[in-house]
Chains A and B, each alone.
Chain A
């Protein structure tokens, strides 16, 4: 039996998300394992970090006591020479992947004939919500 053809925007969206998640997971695995193995090469030393988290401290106290204060959600930008900075990069890739995938899907909606301008707009709108949230402008 012939299987129905899956629309291109759907394939584009699914594949971008899937591979970005795999990349994010790969970076997070290496970042966290190397971060734990080489404790000094981190923004926050994992020995004290896990001790503090397991001690029930709130995030503010954890960052304050070990890192001297929270440097901001995009601290990875200036800390890619540390393993927790690299791990944060993995997290950021994963948390932003839907916006990139939605941009890809919108392009596919406009590329493939008959073009779906309405659906391209809908996907772009959701992508915008994610981008604004990542910038700290729109949040739920």
Chain B
């Protein structure tokens, strides 16, 4: 009981209480309320916003665990199942991606799982790359047109798929990479930071290497993000893990921190252009904040191999989306219906769940 009166549970309970009471009050007010001609009824608005909050809460919990922005899940869902304009979806998607990262920053930093130096260092590369990528998108669309964009998407989809396969086969080497040699530049940066690993019950010390190459890769990741206007959480974790030798759990935490930090730069053009509409975005923001706290608390306690399985699922889903969109852009296939995306997502989620519960040993969960 005493635990519930401490942070983060106290603010979580207070916030959940405020949200639930607010929506109960809204429901009561909406009974018998008049709807102006040509407008939506108060009852429908209340149901819609409460639905947004619940969906956002679920998305944030999963996104924080995998170290991705929730936009990867939010954008396809919204585009597939709602008539909302794509610019509003993208603007709100950034809010979704950003706030799960921002709120999880607090618990990650406090526990030591997050690493501020590594995150700000990576943010320089990511921010610069995103700027170059956004400018490049304009250039390439002028020169190569849709054909070029289609090929880039397919190539990227294949790379992401291969990454997923590598993570599937990598096992412990990926959860806790062995770094045998640290170059002088990385040593000079002094990036590593030991932390208490809850799932192992001991202090985890790690080494980081190839920081220079890592920064260049972050520029590349940022360029992809800026070029395609998509979140890049799925690429940040592998970059930190495979190139710099950062343990998977630390990489997932730092990825969330970096997304929060980086999206604080990229969200403003949308805000300043009016694509983020306050009353529409607010329930999504609140859901992200509350779901993000839960996700962060789970990540701090969960085993590293569970994170790898969730990441594999996200990589496979992203790969499917990129290849499908690329083939559509090139005119080889018709527009993929939203229902197909959802079926693929569900199949992947079932696979990940089986892996997490140890019922699918080939996936290597619960060793």
Contacts and interface: CB of A to CB of B under 8 A. Distances in A.
Contact of A50 (B40, B108, B194): B40
Given A59-B277, A91-B285, A25 B290 contact: yes
Contacts of A26: 15, 18
Contact of B201 (A1, A25, A63, A140): A1
Contact of B117 (A3, A97, A119): A119
A42 B98 contact: no
Given A91-B281, A133-B269, 13 more contacts: A4-B196, A10-B109, A21-B103, A22-B15, A39-B42, A46-B40, A47-B35, A73-B268, A91-B95, A91-B278, A102-B261, A130-B268, A133-B268
Nearest to B113: A6
A103 B103 CA distance: 18
A53 B106 contact: no
Interface string B200-216: 01110000000000000
A32 B283 contact: yes
Contacts of B41: 47
Contact of B278 (A14, A31, A55, A122): A31
A9 B116 contact: yes
Nearest to A134: B268
Given A56-B85, A73-B273, A119-B117, A50 B289 contact: no
B340 interface: no
Contacts of A92: 271
A102 B131 CA distance: 20
A72 B276 CA distance: 11
B289 A25 contact: yes
B122 to A, nearest CB: 10
Contacts of B276: 91
Contacts of A9: 116
Interface of A: 1, 3-4, 6-7, 9-11, 13-15, 17-19, 21-22, 24-26, 28-33, 35-37, 39, 42, 44-51, 53-60, 62-63, 70, 72-74, 83-85, 87-88, 90-92, 94-99, 101-102, 105, 119, 122-123, 125-126, 129-130, 133-134, 136, 138-140
A47 B45 contact: yes
B353 interface: no
Contacts of A7: 116, 193
Interface in B81-120: 82-85, 87-88, 91, 95, 98-99, 102-103, 105-112, 114-117, 120
Interface in B278-303: 278-283, 285-286, 289-290
Contacts of B48: 50, 54
Nearest to B195: A4
A128 to B, nearest CB: 10
B16 to A, nearest CB: 10
B22 A29 contact: yes
Interface in B116-139: 116-117, 120-121, 123-124, 127, 130-131, 133-134
B286 A28 contact: yes
Contact of A122 (B18, B108, B124, B280): B124
A116 B40 CA distance: 56
- Interface residue tally on B, bucketed by range: 35 or more
Contacts of B32: none
A99 to B, nearest CB: 7
Contacts of B117: 119
Nearest to A14: B109
A1 B202 contact: yes
Contact of A59 (B15, B88, B124, B265): B88
Contact of B275 (A59, A129, A134): A59
A133 B266 contact: yes
14 contacts: A4-B193, A6-B111, A10-B115, A10-B193, A25-B15, A46-B45, A50-B48, A58-B85, A58-B88, A94-B285, A122-B121, A126-B261, A134-B268, A140-B269
A93 B201 CA distance: 37
B127 A126 contact: yes
Contacts of B121: 122
Most buried by B among A37, A58, A99: A37
A25 B45 CA distance: 19
Given A4-B195, A36-B42, A94-B285, A17 B83 contact: no
Contacts of A35: 278-279
A81 B139 CA distance: 44
Contacts of A17: 102-103, 105-106, 260
Contacts of B108: 14
Contacts of B102: 17, 21, 94, 97-98
Contact of B84 (A10, A22, A53, A84): A53
